[in-house]
Amino acid sequence: MKKLAALLATFILVATSAFADTTVKVDGSTTVLPIMQKMVEAYMKANPTVKFTVSGGGSGNGIKAIIDKTTDIAMASRKMKDKEFALAKEKGVNAKEIVVAIDAIVPVVNPANKISAVTLAQLKDLYAGKTTEWKALGGEGPVVVISRDTSSGTYETWEELVMKGEKVFPGALLQASSGAVVQAVSKNKNAIGYVGVGYLDASTKGLTVDGVVGNEENASSGKYPISRDLYLYVNGEPTGEIKKFVDWALGAEGQKLVKEAGFVPLKKK
Amino acid sequence: MAVSRKAKDSVIRIAFLVTALSSIVALGLIMIYLFIEGLPIFEHVSVIDFLFGHLWYPTSDPADFGIFPLIVASVAVTLVSSALAIPLGVMTAIYLAEIAGPRTRGFFKPVVELLAALPSVVIGFFGMVVVAPFLQEAFDLATGLNLFNAAIMLAFMSVPTICSVSEDAIYSVPAELKEASLALGATHWETIARVILPASLSGISTAIILGMSRAIGETMVVLMVAGGAAMIPTSLFSPVRPMPSSIAAEMAEAPFRGDHYYALFAIGIVLFLFTLLFNIIADHISEKHKQVGAATL
């Protein structure tokens, strides 16, 4: 009996230690989620002893989770705000930022629209509700402005890089996902929307911004004006499994998956 | 040893009591949670500003939490869809219960009820890719994703509820009422209008309110086809942003227990109060027109 108990105890000890320090929790942005899912799948295949759980609760939730130490890696499609850094420090968390991929946000119109180029200033007027007719840009018909939800990371980037402090006017049609934006623009000849470069296909027409095509090359060189970094946040300098994973993700194999997920890989160093 | 009948009886009674209580407790807990998570927003925004503010910019700094356009949008979508669904639903019900022969009835009733089984995301998708471009072409609109499109799709979803509940109500009107009316020389049509409809009014109004509750709380459809502009609609074809679609669209990105999160729960409270009001009205009406016996008409 005693032997059995001892055996059981060792078994539990081994079992828990085998699981306890190798489960990595990832939470946060739904934009980064497809990249992370691809990476984690491939990584777990190569390293069967490491277990990842990935969930997409939004950038805000991911950052909140890293501050509260309820996750190991937070995904974010925006930079952590100073307020959040301060809160983290207060709770003894030293949030470290890792850029994992680049996303270019491209304005798209219906293929039937004659326009193929815009300037940043024109985009701003369109989204502020000041330009209401396509005539002003050389097209025809009323303008239907389609935007992402105000809480989306893509929207926040758009507000920062295009609107520059102004707000998208309340008459803009808000869509809950990039897929819905593509769908709405492809069905409406008056519409203009914006999506990440991974969502470009034949159903919509991408516009050049200030004469620059929004593609991988121009986004990673920084020539394209509406591109942003996608982030991972960890608590402190990464160690152990997390460090191994992060190094792998930033390496050639991981970055290949970024491209597969439709985003822009980091510039090769 | 045989269990006494009395003991058996009390065991069954307790079993039912526990079942009933557990659903009440669940509802109570959900309500408490809703209020705990929603009320903190009012430390930052006054109730008046929240309910009657015209700007909804929950992530700006400083943020605007005015849900008036959202409330107007919800009410407008519900009213327009009711205007479409109530005549359709009630008239179909009358036809099925009173006019159609048993074979037609046996075929059409399940078909109508099958409509209720269509997932809302399918209806939303249909509205997005088929109805929206059609409306845009037919009425020469800037966009087909608007109040009217959402109302049509919601009417689609509430017709089966309204129809099948009122059909049951009409069908269960006692036969002697109908026979008495016909015996007095009234035509079939007069019997329907003067006897059967008033007698089943309690059931029909419950059906209508149930259909409207479904329309005001429905999320997927309004998320997909209402357009999502947080503006007070100026016409039937304005894009709108009803309350459920705001909650669904923004909850994932709202930082846990941040102001935005609290504000979304507060919208949930408003929505809850709306449906509560609907149910109280339904209860009141069905109580008032309750048919307790054949002689009360």
Sign, CA torsion B64/B69/B75/B80:
negative
> In a mutagenesis test of the B interface, which of A71, A83, A126, A151 is the best target, namely the one with the most B β-carbons within 10 Å?
A151
> Do the Cβ atoms of A187 and B133 come within 8 Å?
yes
Average pLDDT, chain A: 85
Give the confidence band of A15 by pLDDT, cuts at 50, 70, 90. Answer: low
Q: Is A251 helix (H, G, I), strand (E, B) or coil?
A: coil
Mean pLDDT throughout B2-9? 84
pLDDT digits (tens, 9 = 90+) for A239-258: 888 899 999 999 988 999 99
Judged by a CB distance cut-off of 8 A, whether residue B124 touches chain A is no
Of all residues in chain A, the one with the smallest CA distance to B59 is A151
CA distance B194 to B208: 20
pLDDT digits (tens, 9 = 90+) for B124-174: 999 998 999 899 888 888 888 899 999 999 999 999 999 989 988 888 888
CATH topology of domain A22-102+229-260: D-Maltodextrin-Binding Protein; domain 2 (3.40.190)
| pLDDT given for residue A6 in this prediction | 60
Q: Assess whether pLDDT exceeds 80 at residue A109.
A: yes
Chain B CB contacts of A164 under 8 Å are: none
User: Using only C-alpha atoms, what is the Rg of chain A?
Assistant: 22
Q: Assess whether pLDDT exceeds 90 at residue B21.
A: yes
> Do the Cβ atoms of B258 and A60 come within 8 Å?
yes
Q: Which residues of A133-151 are buried (b: 16+ CB within 10 A; e: fewer)?
A: ebeebebebebbbbbbbbb
CATH of domain A103-221: 3.40.190.10
Smallest Cα–Cα separation from A151: which of A168, A137, A164?
Answer: A168
Judged by a CB distance cut-off of 8 A, whether residue B255 touches chain A is yes
Of all residues in chain A, the one with the smallest CA distance to B132 is A187
Mean pLDDT throughout B211-220? 88
> Do the Cβ atoms of A167 and B60 come within 8 Å?
yes
Of all residues in chain A, the one with the smallest CA distance to B229 is A173
| Top-ranked range on mean pLDDT: pick from A142-151, B18-27, B101-110 | B18-27
> In a mutagenesis test of the B interface, which of A66, A169, A174 is the best target, namely the one with the most B β-carbons within 10 Å?
A174
Give the confidence band of A11 by pLDDT, cuts at 50, 70, 90. Answer: low
Better-scored residue on pLDDT, B286 or B73: B73
Q: Is B129 helix (H, G, I), strand (E, B) or coil?
A: helix
| pLDDT given for residue A108 in this prediction | 94
Q: Assess whether pLDDT exceeds 80 at residue A3.
A: no
> Do the Cβ atoms of A152 and B253 come within 8 Å?
yes
Of all residues in chain A, the one with the smallest CA distance to B147 is A173
pLDDT digits (tens, 9 = 90+) for A206-220: 999 998 998 888 888
Select from A57, A170, A188 the Cβ nearest to the Cβ of B136.
A188
Q: Assess whether pLDDT exceeds 70 at residue A14.
A: no
Report yes or no for ipTM above 0.90. no
Q: Provide φ and ψ at A101, rounded to 5°.
A: -165, 170
| Domain assignments of chain A as residue spans, ordered by start | 22-102+229-260, 103-221
Give the confidence band of A167 by pLDDT, cuts at 50, 70, 90. Answer: confident
The pTM assigned to this predicted structure is 0.80
Select from A149, A156, A175 the Cβ nearest to the Cβ of B250.
A149
| pLDDT given for residue A22 in this prediction | 72
Q: Is A134 helix (H, G, I), strand (E, B) or coil?
A: helix
> Do the Cβ atoms of A150 and B136 come within 8 Å?
no
Select from B59, B223, B227 the Cβ nearest to the Cβ of A151.
B59
Per CATH, A22-102+229-260 and A103-221 having the same topology is answered yes
| pLDDT given for residue B102 in this prediction | 87
- Number of A–B residue contacts, CB under 8 Å: 103
Q: Assess whether pLDDT exceeds 60 at residue A17.
A: no
> Do the Cβ atoms of B229 and A174 come within 8 Å?
yes
Contacts with B22 (C-beta within 8 Å, 6 or more apart), sequence order: none
Judged by a CB distance cut-off of 8 A, whether residue B7 touches chain A is no
CA distance B183 to B23: 48
Select from B128, B223, B250 the Cβ nearest to the Cβ of A151.
B250
> Do the Cβ atoms of A171 and B58 come within 8 Å?
no
Contacts with A151 (C-beta within 8 Å, 6 or more apart), sequence order: A58, A60, B58, B59, B249, B250, B252, B253, B254, B260
Mean pLDDT throughout B64-79? 93
Token representation of residue A250: 């930033």
Judged by a CB distance cut-off of 8 A, whether residue B264 touches chain A is no
**Cβ within 8 Å of A, B 208-227:** 223-224, 227
DSSP string for B141-156:
-S-S-SHHHHHHHHHH
Select from B128, B142, B239 the Cβ nearest to the Cβ of A142.
B142
Chain A CB contacts of B252 under 8 Å are: 30, 56-58, 61, 151
Average pLDDT, chain B: 88
